[in-house]
Amino acid sequence: METQANVLFEVAFEVCNKVGGIYAVLESKAARMVELYKKNYFAIGPYYPERAILETIKQKPPKFCEKIFSSLNKNGINCHYRKWLIQGNPNVILVEFDSLLEKVNDIKKEFWKEYKIDSWGTKFDFDEPIAWSTAAGMLIEKLLPCFENKNIVAHFHEWLSGGALLYLKDKLPTVFTTHATMLGRTIAGCKEDLYKEVNDAIYNNMNLNPKRPYEYGVQAKHQMEKVCAENCTIFSTTSEITAKEANYILGKRPDVILPNGLDIDRFPTMEEFALLHRKYREKIKHFLSAFFNPYYKTELWDAMIFFTSGRYEFRNKGYDIFIEALGKVNERMKKEKIKRNAFVFFFVPRGDIRENIEIMESIQLYDDIREAVKDELPWIEEMTLDLFAKGKMPKMKVLFRKEFLEECKRKIAAFKRKGNPPLSAYVIDENDLIVNAFKKNGLLNRIDDKVKVIFYPSYLSTTDRLLGLNYEQAVQGSHLGVFPSYYEPWGYTPLECAANGVLSITSDFAGFGIFIKQNSDQSKKPGIIVLERDGKTRKEIIEKLYEILWNDVTMSRKERVPKKAKAKDLASLADWKILIKSYVQAHNMALERFKK
């Protein structure tokens, strides 16, 4: 599909500012946007100096920008022209908004007068995006005359960019994308049956009660979202399930669906993945050895490594049913005397955590033992070869020097701990929902437990002092990613697993899950399994997830390898090479409708 637009401004609070999943959307498709719009693609985001240094490189602004930047600077709005250090190296303009933050009450007053957006008493989480996006709108307005006789479109992501969209109303064609509705996410997180409410309302042709967002204190964000949907040229969302939700929550059916994709070419081939999997699997096993072996002997040679990850939304992300299903798997593994252990990580960041000194000491001691063994290997190799050459079989007393064995004995003695391994890799609040769910379901990391759990409430990084892997490396070292979400407008995590050749589980309440269900034969249990949640009772859902997990726990390597290849094939269906056409369609639609 050919682009009718010559210039595209893409406005999002997550441009060069990683907060959630929208960053992944922008970052992964940037190269395709640059291919389409060349030097006239501009991503506009907020300026945070500490993040800009890491994410971008400073560039001299084009001449037409210099005068505009100078003019805005006089009003206290500083603009930074940079290149984003990602595939495609797109132009980015990062906007400082402190001066408008001082005037945010005036901005909110105008929104109340014009659109009845009730932002009385809002705090920084509403005020900052509104101040920034209004400044972004002022920037785009001044840039428009620089592209005279050009077809210009502005694309806005989420309510956080709403200030810009409303500031530019009727001045150029606009596309607004809501990746999830604010109220829908909140309702789902409060253990209410969102989908029943949505389906009943659509069936009975009912509108949302305007008092509803006030019950949850999200009225300002909801109203901004609703007003953006009503006042954009083209309204869009990421999946059919979110389109239905938006139709009820925002009172408007999206004009177009924009599925999220990945740049599949950036991911390893299956041959490369095999090497990476072995490398990072061993690093994870080193961590597990340091975590569990101080307390009791733990078999790791045939271990399965599962994980889940995402926001700390206990029900929305499906952590509740995952933990219950794991409890059932654990009991069956013990009953059937399965030798293999399954280690399950919950990579779910939360605040108010502290490093666990005991775990840090165990890791240090484990590393000391490894280094001592490495230092001794040349001697062991030399003695082994010498004995074989003499026709003798090696004996321990000959291979291992007395000094080495005594040193190791001292370190092993310091390595040993009493009790059971902790359930969390960090010190956390004793009332934590995830840890309490572990306890309730018998996942206590006892010596006889075959499913062993590790809550990892910190962002993964190669520089952390525990696992020492970033998220992608942790994925590549694992065997299965589990994402049985209740509320997931799209869901990048199972797609990222599949792109890396890792098996995954998603659900039919996730946009990506529905996408895969429509494009695969689930009866053949492909590399991405879609858990059926829609129309099922909680008991039925947990039982089905338990069956899927049991199949994965007992699966042989011979069975697993072709499923990995199938997962990779399914991921290619969500390549931006294919899905970017939906964005082009939205931009073209905006131009055509605006002209009318």
- Across the range 224-249, mean pLDDT stands at 97
pLDDT of residue 140: 98
pLDDT of residue 569: 94
Close Cβ partners of 591 (under 8 Å, ≥ 6 residues apart): 4, 5, 151, 153, 173
Domain 264-356+422-574: CATH superfamily is Glycogen Phosphorylase B; (3.40.50.2000)
Three-state secondary structure string covering 164-222 = HHHHCCCCCCEEEEECCCHHHHHHHHCCCCHHHHHHHHHHCCCCCCCCHHHHHCCHHHH
Cβ-based burial of 107 (10 A; exposed 0-12, middle 13-18, buried ≥19): buried
Q: Between 166 and 74, whose confidence is greater?
A: 166
pLDDT over 80 at 1, yes or no: no
Q: Each residue of 519-569: pLDDT tens digit?
A: 999 888 889 999 999 999 999 999 999 999 999 999 999 999 999 999 999
Domain 7-262+577-595: CATH superfamily is Glycogen Phosphorylase B; (3.40.50.2000)
Average pLDDT for the chain = 95
Helices and strands counted in the chain (H then E):
24, 17
- Across the range 215-236, mean pLDDT stands at 98
Close Cβ partners of 570 (under 8 Å, ≥ 6 residues apart): 498, 516, 519, 520, 526, 527, 528
State the DSSP string of 432-463: -HHHHHHHHTT----TT-SEEEEEE-S---TT
Calpha distance 37→33 (Å, rounded): 6
Q: Each residue of 321-352: pLDDT tens digit?
A: 999 999 999 999 999 999 999 999 999 999 89
Residue 131 token pair: 């101040």
% of the chain at pLDDT higher than 70: 100
pLDDT over 80 at 228, yes or no: yes
- Across the range 302-312, mean pLDDT stands at 96
| Residue 71 and residue 65 in contact, taking contact as beta carbons nearer than 8 Å | no
